[in-house]
Amino acid sequence: MSTMTSTMFQPELEAMDPKRLRALQGERLAALISRLKASHSPYWAAKLAGLEPGSIGSIEDLQRLPLTIKAELRDNFPFGMLAVPLADTVRVHASSGTRGKPTVVAYTAADIDLFAVLNARAIVASGGRREDVLHIAYGYGLFTGGLGVHFGGERLGATVVPASGGNPGLQVQLMADLGADGLACTPSFALLLAERAEADGLKERIQKKLRYGVFGAEPWSEAFRSKLEQAWEGLEAHDIYGLTEVMGPGVAAECRESRGSLHIFDDHFYPEVLDERGEPVPPGMPGELVLTTLTKEALPVIRYRTGDVTSFVAGPCACGRTSRRIARLSGRVDDMLVIRGINVYPSEIEAVLLDDRRVSGHYQIILDRRDALLELVVRAELAAPVGPDERAELLQSLAAGLKERLRLRVGVLVGEPGELLRQETGKAKRVWEVTSADDPLAALIDTAS
Ligand code: DLL
């Protein structure tokens, strides 16, 4: 095996000749459509009505298929979109969503196998090896993160520690005692673990072994990556992306060479990046990521609108993988805040704040609706204590940086180190709304500073 391909889990597939890959995608799409047509499912019959079974011959024909939106999964809750009998499925997962019923997805044994293989690919892309101890602190349960990465780690042959979320004190003790080489969790939790390890005097011991992180499930910026790599000295922080409706983690992952972009495992998930009208956008331009599952059995999706904003990254990657690459996910289409007529993505705020070494990685974006005019307030936190002059200068510099980037006046508060709420489970909540009737932050922050 050449050194070019030695860091892949499935080099023959991950570095496949692009022409062969395209042909394979076309064959898989055609097979999928035939399978769905034959599935006796009213949902699929309606979705593909008017499409002749033999009319899909290549991946270009995908454009002729309809888009799918999340509401379709909700409307067909729980099993209306299954393409196989429920008896042929072996597991369900669910995403909690913000309101109403969760979205339930199901897997056949072959789907679970694919889930494991693609997560093994992602772990290897991050620098993982079979002789590693891999500490997994994604939540286990209905959430896809814990079990998804877990099966990937086992498939690779790593020694998996299924720690699940929460309980940072126990987690850092385990990491030190068992000698974690890799850490898989949300980036915000990885930062919290670094603080806890430091407080408990375990950081040096852990850092002796810890080489890489497989971090995802929530947006994080390059600036956040720097914070994490400073907090865990010697660790390479890598991005992993996925979503329940399509499979879970392991849809795309960063490799060690592609910092800032992710390889989509496009022999199984065909990506498009579309504008609001559903038209493809050129490489480098942002749009909504739309995914088609080419091989999933139980719950395939066709041209699923993920709601996630990204762009295609052109050109080959130094690692030798031939898959298409997407830029790191900067946020969701529906994340956009409209403040006094100006569109703001939380990721832009994060980029400005965390670019300053003096602030920690914890922050809150507060939409203050108590007055007629909506105010945007950003609450940051000092990484280490500073004197009053430097604090005043920092406040000014953050406010100026935010104003320049967002073209908007933003209130800035900077708290003492450790003052902001630390979230121990789930995805980091960055945006909080304060109204006269409801101030969820009153109990969480000291508004005097
Ligand atoms: O978060 C699956 C996952 C688990 C991915 C563990 C990575 C690691 P859901 O709960 O369905 O599934 O949430 C999916 O989370 O549409 C994105 O908006 C966001 N997301 C996931 N990974 C990333 C990432 C899992 N690396 C939703 N960067 C997606 C930015 C991410 N956003």
> Which pLDDT value is given to residue 2?
42
Of 285, 303, 334, which closes a domain?
334
Q: Are residues 296 and 428 in the same domain?
A: no
Q: How far is the CA of 200 from the centre of ligand 1 (A)?
A: 30
Report pTM.
Answer: 0.95
Please tell me the distance between residue 140's alpha carbon and the centre of ligand 1 in angstroms: 15
CB 358 within 8 A of CB 394: yes
- Residue 119, CA distances (Å) to 154, 242, 328 in order: 10, 10, 18
Å from CA of 185 to ligand 1 middle: 11
Centre of ligand 1 to C-alpha 249, Å, is: 7
> In angstroms, how far is CA 126 from the centroid of its own chain?
14
End-of-domain residue from the set 334, 368, 388:
334
10 and 38 in a single domain? The answer is yes
Mean local confidence (pLDDT), 206-210 = 98
- Domain co-membership, 360 together with 248: no
* CATH at residue 412: 3.30.300.30
Q: Which of 244, 7, 53 is nearest to 148 (CA)?
A: 244
Q: Residues near 179 by Cβ (< 8 Å), separated by ≥ 6?
A: 133, 209
Q: Are residues 345 and 294 in the same domain?
A: no
Residue 293 shares a structural domain with residue 433: no
The residue whose CB lies within 8 Å of the most ligand 1 atoms, and thus the one to mutate among 115, 126, 218, is 218
- Map the chain to HEC letters: CCCCCCCCCCHHHHCCCHHHHHHHHHHHHHHHHHHHHCCCCHHHHHHCCCCCHHHCCCHHHHHHCCCECHHHHHHCCCCCCCCCCHHHEEEEEEECCCCCCCEEEEEEHHHHHHHHHHHHHHHHHCCCCCCCEEEECCCCCCCHHHHHHHHHHHHHCCEEEECCCCCHHHHHHHHHHHCCCEEEECHHHHHHHHHHHHHCCCHHHHHCCCCEEEEECCCCCHHHHHHHHHHCCCCEEEEEEEECCCCEEEEEECCCCCCCEEEECCCCEEEEEECCCCCECCCCCCEEEEEEECCCCCCCCCCEEEEEEECEECCCCCCCCCCCEEECCCEEHHHCEEECCEEECHHHHHHHHHCCCCECCCCEEEEECCCCCCEEEEEEEECCCCCHHHHHHHHHHHHHHHHHHHCCCCEEEEECCCCCCCCCCCCCCCEEEECCCCCCCCCCCCCCC
The dihedral through the CA atoms of 35, 36, 37, 38 has a sign that is positive
CA separation for the pair 139, 334 (Å, rounded): 24
Range of the domain at 367: 337-445
Q: How many domains does the chain have?
A: 2
Looking at residue 442, what is its pLDDT? 66
> For ligand 1, is residue 152 a contact (CB within 6 Å)?
no
The CATH number linked to 114 is 3.40.50.12780
Query: At which residue do the structure tokens 């019959």 appear?
Result: 45
Q: Which residue type, as a one-letter code, is found at position 60?
A: E
- 242 C-alpha to ligand 1 centroid (Å): 5
Residues 350 and 327 in one domain: no
pLDDT attached to residue 97: 65
Evaluate: CB of 308 within 6 angstroms of ligand 1.
yes
Q: Is pLDDT of 446 > 60? A: no
- 141 with 239, same domain: the answer is yes
To test the pocket of ligand 1, the residue of 239, 308, 335 to mutate (highest count of ligand atoms within 8 Å of its CB) is 308
What is the pLDDT at residue 318?
96
**Does the pLDDT value for residue 149 go beyond 70?**
yes
Q: Would the CB of 221 count as within 6 Å of ligand 1? A: no
Q: Is the pLDDT of residue 447 over 80?
A: no
Would you state the pLDDT for residue 440? 73
Asked if residue 292 lies in contact with residue 304, where contact means CB atoms within 8 angstroms, the answer is yes
* Cα(311) to centroid(ligand 1), Å: 16
Pairing assessment for the beta strands 331-332 and 375-381 based on DSSP bridges? unpaired
Arithmetic mean of pLDDT, 214-218: 97
- CA 241 – ligand 1 centroid, Å: 5
**Calpha distance 384→159 (Å, rounded):** 36
Residues 341 and 325 in one domain: no
Average pLDDT value for residue range 115-125: 98
Encode pLDDT of 219-264 as tens digits.
999 999 999 999 999 999 999 999 999 999 999 999 999 989 999 9
Same-domain pairing of 262 and 298: yes
State the average pLDDT over residues 77-90. Answer: 97
> With bands split at pLDDT 50, 70 and 90, how would you rate the model's confidence at 54?
confident
pLDDT of residue 330: 81
Answer yes or no: do 223 and 303 share one domain.
yes
Q: Is the CB of 95 under 6 A from ligand 1?
A: yes
Ligand 1 and 424: CB distance under 6 A: no
Q: Are 326 and 390 within one domain?
A: no
With 90 as the cut, is the pLDDT of residue 4 above it?
Answer: no
pLDDT at 1: 39
Q: What number does the ligand 1 atom closest to the CA of 306 have?
A: 16
Ligand 1: residue whose CA is nearest its atom 13: 243
Rounded Cα–Cα distance for residues 428 and 256 (Å): 25
Please name which of 196, 98, 173, 116 lies closest in space to residue 426, comparing C-alpha atoms: 98
Read off the pLDDT of each residue in 298-317 and give the average, rounded to a whole number.
Answer: 97
Same domain for 299 and 417, yes or no, is no
Picking from 313, 334, 355, the residue at the C-terminal end of a domain is: 334
> What region, left, alpha or beta, does residue 424 occupy, with left being phi > 0 and alpha being psi -120 to 50 degrees?
alpha
Q: How far is 11 from 117, CA to CA, in rounded Å?
A: 12
What's the angle, vertex CA 419, arms to CA 413 and CA 422, rounded to 5? 115
Phi first, then psi, for residue 128 (nearest 5°) are: -75, 150
pLDDT for the residue numbered 301: 98
Question: If you average pLDDT over residues 319-346, what whole number do you get?
Answer: 93
Q: Has residue 448 got a pLDDT over 60? A: no
Residue nearest to atom 6 of ligand 1 (CA): 145
CB 331 near ligand 1, within 6 Å = no
User: What is the average pLDDT across 181-188?
Assistant: 98
pLDDT digits (tens, 9 = 90+) for 386-441: 999 999 999 999 999 999 999 999 999 999 999 998 999 999 999 999 988 877 77
The mean predicted confidence, pLDDT, of the chain is 94
| CA 417 / ligand 1 centre spacing (Å) | 28
**With bands split at pLDDT 50, 70 and 90, how would you rate the model's confidence at 372?**
confident
* Dihedral angle computed from the Cα positions of residues 37, 41, 42 and 47, in that order, rounded to the nearest 10 degrees: -40
